[in-house]
Structure 1
Amino acid sequence: ELKEVNEKFSILENDYQKVIQELNQKRKEIQILKSNLASSQNNVEKFTITEPDKTDYSLNQNKFESYSEIKENPILRLTKFRNIPKSLSKNDLIQILEKHDFHDRCLNTRGRGYSHQFLIQVKRKNRVIQDKKWNLMWQQGGSTESLMYAKAIEYIDKLNQEMHAGYADWRLPTIEEAASLIQKKKKNGLYIDPVFDNTQRWIWTNDLVAGSEGTWVVSFYKGCCLDNYIYSYSLSSVRAVRSIK
């Protein structure tokens, strides 16, 4: 009888674990739908400048600034990183890093990295970082402890419920937005501008790793993007972001 009870308990435990995994997957799908809804309202088309040689200069900000016609029209310099979640393979990510010239110590060591115009602000007693160049607002800090992905989603939901810094459209960043923060040189122990808190050494993104249950994570400790984080049990910090209209 004891053996039979143990077998039934084992079956119930396995069923419970499957339910938990399915619940985490549904939570992730709901968060992606929420992000898609919020981002679709803020998404701005990327402007493309075509010169006589038909080169697309919208992918290189340094080339942008060499043309007087663009300097005379600041709106043409406006570039938006993708802010809608998607599933990406490692090759997809490498193409993104190379396209934007992001520096990644693991996947794109030749990348020069992006320049920003950071401005520290205090809103409703919450410190945030406004990136005036790329129209993004970041938490200066973020979660004070590492969280599983499901808890990271709850953290974002709580920020929005509490109108953190006066806003209710906080979200997890895409890998493009998060990777743009990686710097070539380590400062204050991390590969990120010291204007940010150094507690958050790894942060979740809302992009899936294609063909797996993983979620892309950016490590400011290593200075690179990582694809081996399984959302159901891996731990990482949260640094929320929002698009500025």
Structure 2
Amino acid sequence: MADSKRFIDNGDSTITDTKKNLMWTKTDSMIELKKWVNYQDSVDWVRVLNENEYVGYSDWRLPTRDEMSGLYDESFSNSDKFGKLIHISDVFTKGCGFSVIAKMIDGRFRTWVLNLRDGEYTNPDGLWTLTEAARAVRTIVEND
């Protein structure tokens, strides 16, 4: 059962994960860019967030596999861009992609992708041919 107080809407287009001490973007690349992204597109999207100091921060990044695993909980109910059920908190904006790209695995030319419909992970080949969505995250530091 999901903790209803785990994800807090900060009212500034970000969501705080109180369990993992993370700040997530409320929307994802699908909502912001209105298209699926490959790995390089997702890295570029996060770079632009940092260059523009999105909501006052310049340390946005793609999540690790462990970080993005905290987004998924079968008891959560939200809807993706197709109106299908995805299992992330309803504090995140509806209409997002049904997948999340993680940062590249250290020392490997691969990444993880989490399917928010079923909680399954894939480790696909072809980072440049992926058609997924990205969600940026940052670690909350003291004085935030």
Alignment TM class, shorter chain as reference: 0.7 to 0.9
State the Cα distance separating 1:114 from its structure 2 match.
Answer: 7.6
| RMSD over equivalenced CA pairs, Å | 2.3
**Cα distance, 1:168 vs structure 2:** 0.3
Q: Distance in 2 between matches of 1:133 and 1:119?
A: 11
1:146 aligns with 2:36: yes
Q: Return the offset for 1:120.
A: 0.6
Cα distance between partner residues in 2 of 1:115 and 1:181: 12
Aligned to 2:110: 214
Instruction: Specify whether residues 120 and 203 from structure 1 end up closer, same or farther in structure 2 by C-alpha distance, changes over 3 A only.
Output: same
Which residue is 1:165 aligned to? 55
Would the alpha carbon gap of residues 193 and 217 (structure 1) be closer, same or farther in structure 2, given more than 3 Å must change? same
Residue equivalent to 1:122: 11
Considering fraction of residues, name the structure with more helix.
Answer: 1
Question: Helix, strand or coil for the counterpart of 1:171?
Answer: coil
Superposition deviation, residue 215 in structure 1? 1.3
- Give, in whole Å, the separation in 2 of the partners of 1:168 and 1:230: 28
Q: Which runs of 5+ in 2 are unaligned?
A: 79-84
Q: Name structure 1 gaps, 5 residues minimum.
A: 1-111
Cα shift readout 1:75-108 (whole Å, capped 9, x = no counterpart): xxxxxxxxxxxxxxxxxxxxxxxxxxxxxxxxxx
Alpha-carbon distance, 1:214 to partner: 2.9
- Residue pairs, 1:65-104, within 5 angstroms: none
Q: Are the aligned partners of 2:2 and 2:76 in contact in 1 as well (CA < 8 Å)?
A: no
Q: Give the structure 1 partner of residue 19 of structure 2.
A: 133
One-letter identity of the residue aligned with 2:8: L
Q: Percent identity?
A: 28
- Aligned twin of 1:14: none
Q: Mark the CA change 1:215 to 1:116 in structure 2 (over 3 Å): closer, same or farther.
A: farther
Where 2:67 maps in the other structure, the secondary structure is helix
State the shift of 1:118 in Å. 1.6
- Measured in 2, the distance between the counterparts of 1:113 and 1:153 equals 30
2:68 is the counterpart of 1:178: yes
- CA separation of 1:164 and 1:183: change in aligned 2, threshold 3 A: same
Q: 1:22-79, CA deviations, whole angstroms, 9 ceiling, x for partnerless residues?
A: xxxxxxxxxxxxxxxxxxxxxxxxxxxxxxxxxxxxxxxxxxxxxxxxxxxxxxxxxx
Q: Shift in Å at residue 181 of structure 1?
A: 1.3
Larger RCO (alpha carbons 8 Å, 6+ apart):
2
Q: Please state how far the C-alpha of 1:208 moved relative to its aligned partner.
A: 2.4
Q: Which whole-Å CA distance do the structure 1 matches of 2:68 and 2:125 have between them?
A: 15
> 1:165, 1:187 → 2: CA distance?
26
